[in-house]
Every structure is written in structure tokens, then in C-alpha cells.
Chain A
Amino acid sequence: EVQLVESGGGLVQPGRSLKLSCAASGFTFSNYYMAWVRQAPKKGLEWVATISTSGSRTYYPDSVKGRFTISRDNAKSSLYLQMNSLKSEDTATYYCARVATEGNWFAYWGQGTLVTVSS
């Protein structure tokens, strides 16, 4: 059974940094692209980042480019999201997701971890 478990969320002040983690199990992690998708409170879904199987290629929307960094450790079956220079608009639940590259859909999702950016 595919399992994705996020951690690392919490309350952080504007301008500070936070690193999220996602522990994967139930599949061969190194064979799949992975992604982060977020959802602001009572709002819709927003794609945040995608990483290739080896980690050599990463993709971001303009809203987080230069501030967020996605990475992975295939030996640990873990995905990460380093978030710097956080803004109030980054407040959201962050989901880790497994990507199906045939059509870039998000086949499996974790339960999410809440990040609140506030002073």
C-alpha cells in the first residue's frame, strides 16, 4: 500500500525558514517523480514543486521560485521542501504527492502538514 506521510509543519514568522519532509513507503520511491501541492485555508489546490527521479531536475511555479527548494533522498525514500523567506500567503496545508509522468497527474497524496506563517 502506498503511504506518504508529511511532517515538519508548524507556526513560523514571516521571513523565516521551514523544512518539510515526506516519508514514502509501499513503492519503489526512486522510480517516481514526486511533488508538493498546497492548499490555503478554505481555498483551492496549488502546485508548488516537482522533482525528477534522480533529483537532477526540479520545477516550480513563479510564486515560489527562488524561495522554495524541493529535494529527495532515494536511500531514505524521503522527499523534502525547504521553504525560505516565508510570507503570510504561504500559509497552507502542504501535501506530498506521487506523480504519474505519463500525464503529470498526482496519483497518491499524503495527509498533509499545516504551515502557518504569522507574527
Chain B
Amino acid sequence: AIVLNQSPSSIIASQGEKVTITCRASSSISSNYLHWYQQKPGAFPKLVIYSTSYRASGVPSRFSGSGSGTSYSFTISRVEAEDVATYYCQQGSSNPNTFGAGTKLELK
């Protein structure tokens, strides 16, 4: 199984700050198969970025993604209060589909 190592496990950021989360895969993944989700407290997960860099419908432009091979990143250019959530990367390249352990974003 492809293991996804997400870091950091938690971030405390100020509003307006730029934050970046990395996701490193144990084997190379096609960029088509690396995705990011946002899960707000008490809610179900929501797709934010698919295929490395494409924003899902309705997702603000402050969210972006990049990467290739085994190294991917997710960035919020200017954090807003509504972005408080846990973020997960996921690979769909091979079964079993796997998720990173999550990065919890909190506001300072």
C-alpha cells in the first residue's frame, strides 16, 4: 500500500498568513491521483483540490495545490477564520486508496 506522510500534523496560524502542508508518498503517484480534502469540526469531509492542482467547484482561489512524483503540497495563501479544519491528502493511484493522517489547522 502507498503510505502518505503528511506534515505538519498541526498548524497554528494567524488570519492572513500563508500556510503550506506537504504530503509525501512512499511510491511515485501520477499527479492525476493526488487529492486534498477539508474536514471542519463536526462535519463530513469536502473535496478541495483534485488531481494535484484543480480546485473543486466553489472552492476559493486562496486554496492551491502542486507537486509531482512523491512530493505534493497544499497551500492556503491567506488563512481565514472559516479555514479552521483538518486537511487530508488522498491517493487514488492504486488500491488500497489511502489517506494521509491529516493536518489540523487552528487560528492563533
Contacts and interface: CB of A to CB of B under 8 A. Distances in A.
B93 A104 contact: yes
B73 interface: no
Interface in B7-52: 32-33, 35, 37, 44-47, 50-51
B95 interface: yes
A45 B92 contact: no
B88 interface: yes
Nearest to B31: A103
B90 interface: yes
Contact of B51 (A44, A47, A103, A106): A103
Interface stretch (A9-17, A73-81, A107-115): A107-115
B68 to A, nearest CB: 14
A26 to B, nearest CB: 13
Given A59-B95, A62-B96, A105 B90 contact: yes
B76 interface: no
Contact of A95 (B45, B51, B92, B96): B45
Contact of B33 (A104, A107, A111): A104
A105 B47 contact: yes
B32 A47 contact: no
A62 B98 CA distance: 12
18 contacts: A44-B99, A44-B101, A44-B102, A45-B45, A45-B90, A45-B99, A47-B96, A62-B96, A103-B51, A104-B97, A105-B90, A105-B92, A107-B56, A109-B44, A109-B45, A109-B46, A109-B47, A112-B44
Interface of A: 37, 44-47, 50, 59, 61-62, 95, 100, 102-112
